[in-house]
Amino acid sequence: MKYKQVAIIGLGRFGMSLLTELSRMGCDVLAIDNDVNNVNEVAEIATHTIQADSMDEQVLKSLGIRNFDIVIVAIGENVQASILTTIILKELGVKKIVAKAKNALHGKVLEKVGADCVVFPERDMAIKLAKTILSHHILDHIELSPQYSIEELLAPKIFINKSIEEIDVRKKMKVSILAIKRGDEVIVVLNAREVIKAGDILVALGKNEDLQRLDELES
């Protein structure tokens, strides 16, 4: 586990979902919100909770916020609070700040004031969903850069009962197969002689247009 001590500021839907998942994965999570109802709601899940205004520098300092491995600013609607909180965290020397942005401008400001990573959950989820809805085989999509992605897709019909060597997508389609998911099994160290079976899910890396060509093959 890379990050153990995490603080989440803002317990809206995003902050709460993140808190639940990080706690489930074994992180110690400090949950902060200025609404006491939200704080009480997560008392059972978070390691520590505090009802506080994150724009209060003294409160954050007294919590020893700079000692956390990562601090997530999950405030969206209140742009002023999101930006001021990020500035204070930066000034207090927090090692890694992840901030949620509502839109591109908000994201730009957060980057400028020192957020190490800016996330756009609504936009990113919508893009992902659109790609999944429109695709033939794509089950999941991770964007590595605007040009490159990793996709999980159902093995196309013409690949079935052929080995990785035979389909040779690296040469023919400029796509690398990173892994094969077969039922509960995940084959990560791929042998060129590994034969693709019906129902296999291929984890493929490549340029978006090359992945699209792969996706257009008949299932």
State the residues that interact with ligand ATP by CB under 6 A.
9-15, 32-35, 38, 53-55, 75-78, 81
Cβ-proximal residues to 46 (8 Å cutoff; 6+ apart), any chain: 8, 19, 23, 29, 30, 31
- Compute the distance between CA of residue 189 and CA of residue 178 in angstroms, rounded to an integer: 8
> Is 79 or 190 the residue whose CB approaches ligand ATP more closely?
79
Q: Which residue is listed with tokens 């400028």?
A: 112
| Shortest Å distance, C-beta 18 to ligand ATP | 9
CB of 15 to ligand ATP, least distance (A): 6
Which residue number places its CB atom closest to ligand ATP? Answer: 76
- Between residues 59 and 179, which has the closer beta carbon with respect to ligand ATP? 59
Of 15 and 107, the one with the shorter C-beta distance to ligand ATP is 15
Task: Kindly state the helix (H) or strand (E) to which residue 5 belongs, with its residue range.
Answer: strand 5-9
Q: How far is the CB of 133 from ligand ATP (least distance, A)?
A: 22
Nearer to ligand ATP, 76 or 156 (CB): 76
Which tokens in the block code for residue 155? 């093995």
CB of 143 to ligand ATP, least distance (A): 21
Q: Are 95 and 69 in contact (CB under 8 A)?
A: yes
For residue 107 the two structure tokens come to 């994201």
